[in-house]
Structure 1
Amino acid sequence: MHDVVIAGGGPVGLFLAAELALSGCSVVVLERDPEPASPLKALPLGLRGLNAGSAETFHRRGLLEAMAQASGVEPQKLGADPEAVAAPVPREVSHFAGMTLAAADIDTGALPPRLPSPAMEGFMTSLEAAGSVLCARATALGAEIIRSAPVTAVAQDAGSILVTAGGQEYRGRWLVGCDGGRSAVRQLAGFEFVGTEPLFTGYAAKVAFADPGQLPLGFHLTPNGMYLRTPLEGHLGMMDFDGAAFDRSRPPTREHLQTVLRRISGTNVTLNEVHLASSFTDRAMQTTTYRQGRMLLAGDAAHIHSPLGGQGLNLGIGDAVNLGWKLAATVRGWAPEGLLDTYTSERHPVGAAVLDWSRAQVATMKPGPNAPALRRLVHDLMRTTDGTTHVYRQTSGLFHRYDLGGAQALVGRSAPDFRFEDGTRLGELLRRGRAVALDFSTDRALQAAAKGWAGRIHYAAGPARNDLGLTALLIRPDGIVAWTGEPAPDREAFERAAARWLGAPRS
């Protein structure tokens, strides 16, 4: 029997498998597809954006350089000046409803503190690149990956889960569905899935244009919808506000795509050939809970929405890094009571916010007689300093806050990448998937206390290049600040925070 069975071998399932294996859990991943490679995962249709928060997560597990290399990005272009003490101004900011924004308009003083890091910016990747890096990571750590194994039945009792996949049975103590928007686990387990119905059919295609000059690069909102051309050869995206009538009703042929494109663009552009095409919608749905007994959901299995703003992959990676250490702690027997339930209480609001962000963009882009006025208003608001800063805060993946209690501004947030004077970074200390206690004080007040959680807490002490005025921090395995010592480390407060997240100390 495995500790954890994961349904779905995409980036979210593979990241979760690696997190669990890193903590010593036995893991099997059941993947429906027979091969890891697929034209839909490669560029251009597999194009995805990693935001800065996801880049930071990969940095904390020692995967940033491999992800950048697989994505064709030079790692040195991501990070800050290695000698910098303060974080640089962001170089990029996401768009809202196709409206591009200028990073120079961000008010960095209105953002929570951040420090220089190798992961200062997001970058473009593909499902193929992310899958290859994470598959190598999971298998190197001992996770087993079985392909051609679609899940067809699940049954749970008090102590285990029986999963039928690919005609075989697999038993585990826990099951996590990471099997996408049409999740078999979600449906078989009867999770409630609620939300809003779609307004458009979207298309992603690789085509050959007879006259590409008629369609300039970038996002283009028109009275009939939206089209997008990227620098990737033949890459075409469209949104047709047909109430999602076409989606998956029949294959998107060349003739159909050309008709839709001509109507949306207002041109007589010709498509010579369609090499590959798929459709999608803006249906925005979320399960009411991410856990039922011994079954959990992560990624698109738990929430679906339109790809506007490129939040889907990032949301799933955030689920996986939040769930991984909590489920591992439960498996290993040291999790404090209620720890696993914090996965839903922390991640569900983040998912709901992303769904609303997607809905707001769709509403802004929907054609109609009042649409131009609404777009002008939203455009003007977004171009203000407050508006641009808000978009960056919502989309960078760096600044959401879990409600962990306490007034200190960093508690519940992703920790800045503190750097000791010897050059060691927090991100490097998190690579083993354990909590980290940072002690910048001169009396090493927390060292004796941290010994009570040997094997669960990595204690590191010394002066930092920039301690942000703090004396000590406790950082969870997912990089979230659980406690800060102000104005001086308080051993009892530290021990209470450690017990809350890491269970009882060792005797």
Structure 2
Amino acid sequence: MPDFDVIIVGAGPAGLTLATELSLAGARPLVLEKHLVPRETQKASGIGGRILDVLRYRGLLERFEAASSDPNIAPRFPFGTLQLDFTQLADPPMRAMPIPQHVIERLLGERAHELGTEIRRGHEVLGVTQNAAEVTAEVRGPEGTYQIRAGYLVGCDGGRSRIRELAGIPFPGTTYPEVNRLGQVRLGDAVTVLDNGDIDVPGLGRVATGFTRNDRGVFAFAIDPESGTTSLMATENETTEYDDEEPLTLAELSASVRRVLGVDLPMTDPKRLSRFTFKDRQAERYRDGRILLAGDAAHLLPATGTALNVGMLDSVNLGWKLAAAVRGRAPEGLVDSYHNERHMAAGRARLQTRAQVALRRGRDDADEALRQVVQELLLDEPALRRMGGLVGHSDIRYPMPGVEHPLAGTFAPDLALHTEAGATSVAELMHNARPVFLELADRPELRVIAQEWSDVVEIHSGKAEDQPADALLIRPDGHLAWAAAIGEPADTAADTLRAALTHWFGSPAGV
């Protein structure tokens, strides 16, 4: 018998999210992290888009908001060297929350501990073998080397994934020859901040807020009027391979800014310093037998503000599927659907981040014309909303076999519900990460069918003011596996519901 149901390698956001999802679904995960203590290296600085909805559906959003410096930050986001400005929209298609990655990891780790997950720090996986029944990991810990067995093993160990290498999974793509250095600092007294947010730099003159481009690289900055803190970034063409564990210093940032601008920019009091390169890579497959990949181990994206969110969503998609497999309730093809769905989703993320590369790196007049045209298009609300869905990862629609309803495969809307027990919402129904059958009209023939899967699926009835369907079947990851159109004939709705329940959750208990 395996020691655990699932071994998760890596205690970053993807790994810890997977641990919480597995634990909620009744599986026994073990997290192995090679670093002895949690790192506070400045990496991602926030989360945004669809993952915020998922946190709300799990009842965790308030924790993250309490730890954020500004949970209601204005919805303006960089896109290449352009800007997506949703502030004029009453219902922005994308929101974000500034919160450092090490805080995200702390919050997820606390939740994992609450659910009884074991996290072993200072334990590095040296080798992995598998057979038809289980995976065995050879691990080096503080007290020596040992072996541990599980039904599955998931590599959440970053872009240089040892697990991906051991599984022999190719990781094709491109590494762009540029280095980006970012900091949050205070500008020296010699720098004059002008009324419109531009700055006057000694020896150079006026530098406009936003992006400044020349043949030496790109400089960008923005000043927070409340705190006086300046966020700035210098980008240079460079092929140096930096160690991710080597922190950026203020001196290195200042030198990079000097090379790009040609003069010194006085700066002090650094609050965040980070260095990153851009890679566009994706694993050819996310599964090799009982070994799977998630997060940066599965894909690297050539733009900021995307990878962490996509990685956490990988784990939300995978968790319930692996839990069903280890409980012996997974129908054929369920675990494979993880690759099919999330490989496609990462492809969408690569699409928009590659577009950002083109907008960011082009330096001739034609490239400047392209940037101007795209920025003008983003002034139109339909185009702006479409980009918000693409960047926020909320435009993902998974294929749902045999279901033609326009909502099928999309993320379930958070309907306000009126039930016999009182007011609730779809988000509250999803806190336990279980499948939900939600009856929104008087369709007893559908409720009877759902009852056959009551050991797996939660069954609820309620009324919604903006009723999108007569009934919904919501997967644990929040995506709609099935929907009955309003007034859909009983026979048709019953047949497609039974097929959807069987496809995603197996045969009814006892069959």
TM-score by shorter chain over 0.5: yes
Provide closer, same or farther for how the CA distance between residues 253 and 137 of structure 1 changes in structure 2, counting only shifts above 3 A: closer
Aligned partner of residue 45 in structure 2, secondary structure: strand
The equivalent of 1:222 in structure 2 is 213
State the AA in 1 paired with 2:12: G
Comparing 414-423 and 213-222, the one that deviates more:
213-222
State the AA in 2 paired with 1:39: E
Percent identity over the alignment is: 32
Could you list the per-position Cα deviations for residues 459-492 of structure 1 after superposition, in whole angstroms to 9, with x for gaps in the alignment?
A: 1113223213x11111111110111112335222
1:323-342 maps to which residues of 2 (within 5 A)? 323-342=318-337
The equivalent of 2:56 in structure 1 is 59
Provide closer, same or farther for how the CA distance between residues 199 and 382 of structure 1 changes in structure 2, counting only shifts above 3 A: farther
1:39-438 maps to which residues of 2 (within 5 A)? 39-40=40-41, 45-73=42-70, 92=75, 94-103=77-86, 121-166=95-140, 167-205=145-183, 209-210=187-188, 211=190, 213=192, 214=199, 219-223=210-214, 224-229=217-222, 231=224, 236-245=231-240, 247-248=242-243, 254-265=250-261, 267-271=263-267, 277-308=273-304, 310-370=305-365, 371-405=367-401, 406-421=403-418, 422-438=422-438
Separation (CA, whole Å) in 2 of partners of 1:169 and 1:258: 47
Provide closer, same or farther for how the CA distance between residues 184 and 248 of structure 1 changes in structure 2, counting only shifts above 3 A: same
Aligned partner of residue 296 in structure 1, secondary structure: strand
Comparing 438-447 and 184-193, the one that deviates more:
438-447
Which stretches in structure 2 are left out of the alignment for 5+ residues? 193-198, 202-206
Say what the alpha-carbon RMSD is for the aligned residues: 2.8
Task: Give the TM-score normalised by the residue count of structure 1.
Answer: 0.86
Provide closer, same or farther for how the CA distance between residues 48 and 33 of structure 1 changes in structure 2, counting only shifts above 3 A: same
Partners of 2:220 and 2:233 within 8 A in 1: yes
Could you list the per-position Cα deviations for residues 155-174 of structure 1 after superposition, in whole angstroms to 9, with x for gaps in the alignment?
A: 11222111123333222111
| Residue 96 (structure 1) shift | 1.6
Separation (CA, whole Å) in 2 of partners of 1:235 and 1:199: 26
Aligned partner of residue 450 in structure 1, secondary structure: helix
Could you list the per-position Cα deviations for residues 366-387 of structure 1 after superposition, in whole angstroms to 9, with x for gaps in the alignment?
A: 1522332232222222223333
State the AA in 2 paired with 1:360: A
The equivalent of 1:494 in structure 2 is 497
Provide closer, same or farther for how the CA distance between residues 123 and 251 of structure 1 changes in structure 2, counting only shifts above 3 A: closer
Comparing 65-74 and 334-343, the one that deviates more:
65-74
Aligned partner of residue 420 in structure 1, secondary structure: strand
Could you list the per-position Cα deviations for residues 49-74 of structure 1 after superposition, in whole angstroms to 9, with x for gaps in the alignment?
A: 32231111011111111111122456
Aligned partner of residue 84 in structure 2, secondary structure: coil
Aligned partner of residue 152 in structure 2, secondary structure: strand
Comparing 483-492 and 173-182, the one that deviates more:
483-492
Q: How many residues align?
A: 477
Aligned partner of residue 411 in structure 1, secondary structure: coil
Provide closer, same or farther for how the CA distance between residues 244 and 219 of structure 1 changes in structure 2, counting only shifts above 3 A: farther
Separation (CA, whole Å) in 1 of partners of 2:456 and 2:232: 47
State the AA in 1 paired with 2:446: L
Partners of 1:94 and 1:395 within 8 A in 2: no
Partners of 2:49 and 2:309 within 8 A in 1: no
Partners of 1:200 and 1:239 within 8 A in 2: no
Provide closer, same or farther for how the CA distance between residues 124 and 304 of structure 1 changes in structure 2, counting only shifts above 3 A: same
State the AA in 1 paired with 2:96: G
The equivalent of 1:21 in structure 2 is 23
Separation (CA, whole Å) in 1 of partners of 2:292 and 2:277: 25
Q: Which has the higher strand share?
A: 2
Partners of 2:303 and 2:356 within 8 A in 1: no
Task: Give the TM-score normalised by the residue count of structure 2.
Answer: 0.86
Aligned partner of residue 412 in structure 1, secondary structure: coil
Separation (CA, whole Å) in 2 of partners of 1:281 and 1:68: 29
State the AA in 1 paired with 2:171: F
Could you list the per-position Cα deviations for residues 233-273 of structure 1 after superposition, in whole angstroms to 9, with x for gaps in the alignment?
A: 76655342414336449875655432320232454313468
Separation (CA, whole Å) in 2 of partners of 1:237 and 1:193: 32
Separation (CA, whole Å) in 2 of partners of 1:359 and 1:204: 20
Separation (CA, whole Å) in 1 of partners of 2:249 and 2:409: 48
Aligned partner of residue 30 in structure 1, secondary structure: strand
The equivalent of 1:478 in structure 2 is 477
Comparing 61-70 and 250-259, the one that deviates more:
250-259
Separation (CA, whole Å) in 1 of partners of 2:461 and 2:76: 35
Provide closer, same or farther for how the CA distance between residues 274 and 414 of structure 1 changes in structure 2, counting only shifts above 3 A: closer
State the AA in 2 paired with 1:504: S
Separation (CA, whole Å) in 2 of partners of 1:492 and 1:273: 65
Aligned partner of residue 262 in structure 1, secondary structure: helix
Separation (CA, whole Å) in 1 of partners of 2:269 and 2:237: 24
Separation (CA, whole Å) in 1 of partners of 2:466 and 2:398: 24
